[in-house]
Amino acid sequence: MQIYTHPYHTLSQVSTPWTKGDKIEGYNDLLQFEKDMVDLMKKSNGIGLAANQIGITKRFFAIGSDTFDTFKKNAIIWNPLIKKHSKEKVFDVEGCLSFPDIWIQVERPKQIEVQYETTQSETKTATLDGMESKCFQHELDHLDGITFNSRVSKLKWDMAKKKAGKK
């Protein structure tokens, strides 16, 4: 399992829903796959990792950080969606494992209400705020074939790339 970088083709593809019968190539054990995906995210210093970043166009992602309220423990989120978002928006710096060393300010709703499925096929809801909200939105964008460079102006993007090149 590896993280693909932009412009890898799956990063711009809209993912299809995950169904219980779906298989993941190279894995007979879904729990082992989840562990490997979370381990890859953590080893890469990420707090989120979408399926299409590892070449799978299904609707799931890994998320987790001990600074989060809902996802303190790393988890795989299946078929996530945003039910509601606040009118209040915030600008905050984001990075992406598929765009190494690039950091840019992105505007997103401050708070979101989400729905998702667990590995045990339970449907859950949560209200997310702050960094946790931003991370969920960023990973969900990936599943919709949207990368964070499309959330900013060409000028801002060019400046961020130039700055990354100076490191």
**Which residues are the active-site residues?**
139
Task: Give the integer Cα–Cα distance in Å for 29 and 33.
Answer: 6
Alpha helices for the chain (secondary structure H): 30-43, 130-143, 154-165
Which residue carries 């995906």 as its tokens? 37
Task: Tell me the residue type at 78.
Answer: W
Contact indicator for 96, 147 with CB cutoff of 8 Å: yes
Task: Tell me the residue type at 26.
Answer: G
Task: Give the integer Cα–Cα distance in Å for 16 and 144.
Answer: 9
Task: Give the integer Cα–Cα distance in Å for 21 and 31.
Answer: 14
- How many residues are given for the chain? 167
CA distances from 66 to 7, 46, 71 (A): 31, 12, 8
